[in-house]
Amino acid sequence: MTELVLPRAGLGGMLRSEWTKLRTVRSTMWSLTAMAGISLGLMSVIAWAIMLQWDKASPEDHAVLQSSPLQIVINQPIFIAQLVIAVLGVMVISAEYTTGMVRSTLQAQPRRFTVLAAKILVFAALMLVVGEILSFAAFFVGKAIIAEHITLSLNDPGVLRSVVGAGLYTAVLGLFSLAFGAIVRHTAGAITGVLGLILIVSNLTALLPGRWGEYVNAWMPTNAGQLVFQPTLPDDPLLTQWQGFAVFSGWTVLLLAVATFLFVKRDA
């Protein structure tokens, strides 16, 4: 009698499994819808309201808006959308601990490194694609709304890099938050931690005195990462746009390394 030997599950199978889980969970679709609503809908409302008040604004206000149109089109939407991205990144993994599904996953695939690697790769690909699509869509929609009073083009200095950078920031922030979720393993605690870092700690470091305080503030993860979608920087910045993105990526890799170590060593 011939013994049936089943093929060992590998990374390819885990990638398909993680993609199926990610796209069939309602929280994923609602979060992506919220991202689109903020990036396109809220930005359009803000831009439209500003254009309606254009004739009432002062020449100084006109000059500010004309010198930094990406503040309307990219920066403000990203600042709000990043909250949704952080929550989604945490829930991608913490929800499995909450429901106990992680035990079933590890029974089907005992190689924990493969499980986490597949989750990271699938989520990173999704967030990169969605981030870039929404970033370029926001740019072209916003450009059309403000075209009567403000000229904006991808050929303007720093604009293309800012639009691409917004999508890159989205992807890395998602992974940064996923790492938080894997380390804390509790949805509410991880969301509180990552949002507290983004909204409170990163801003409070600006109050630190002296040159060392400036460095601490500049090297905070999201403070550094947000430089990548800034078209221009002040004179003599501590970090350039791509250096800031590298710092944010470095923090994310470090957190993912810690998350991987704990995921492999701890009980489910």
pLDDT at 184 over 60: yes
Q: Name which of 164, 197, 166 is nearest 179 in CA terms.
A: 197
234 Rama class: left (phi>0) / alpha (psi -120 to 50) / beta: beta
pLDDT at 1 over 70: no
Give the SS3 label for residue 69: coil
Q: Which percentage of the chain shows pLDDT scores above 90?
A: 45
For 201-220, what is each residue's pLDDT tens digit? 999 999 998 889 999 999 99
pLDDT at 6 over 60: no
What does pLDDT average to over the chain? 87
Instruction: Summarize the confidence of residues 149-178 as an average pLDDT.
Output: 92
State the DSSP string of 163-179: HHHHHHHHHHHHHHHHH
- Residue predicted with more confidence, 55 or 230: 230
Instruction: Summarize the confidence of residues 68-73 as an average pLDDT.
Output: 85
* 38-51 residues labelled b (16+ CB within 10 A) or e (exposed): bbbeebbebbeebb
pLDDT given for residue 8 in this prediction: 54
pLDDT given for residue 5 in this prediction: 45
pLDDT at 268 over 70: no
Distance CA 237, CA 50 (A): 30
Instruction: Summarize the confidence of residues 15-33 as an average pLDDT.
Output: 84
For 101-145, what is each residue's pLDDT tens digit? 788 777 777 788 888 999 999 999 999 999 999 999 999 998 998
pLDDT given for residue 35 in this prediction: 87
Give the SS3 label for residue 185: coil
Please report which confidence band the pLDDT of residue 241 belongs to, taking 50, 70 and 90 as the band edges.
Answer: very high
Q: Which amino acid is at 200?
A: I
Environment class of residue 155 by beta-carbon count within 10 Å: exposed (0-12), middle (13-18) or buried (19+)? exposed
Distance CA 175, CA 162 (A): 20
- Residue predicted with more confidence, 249 or 28: 249
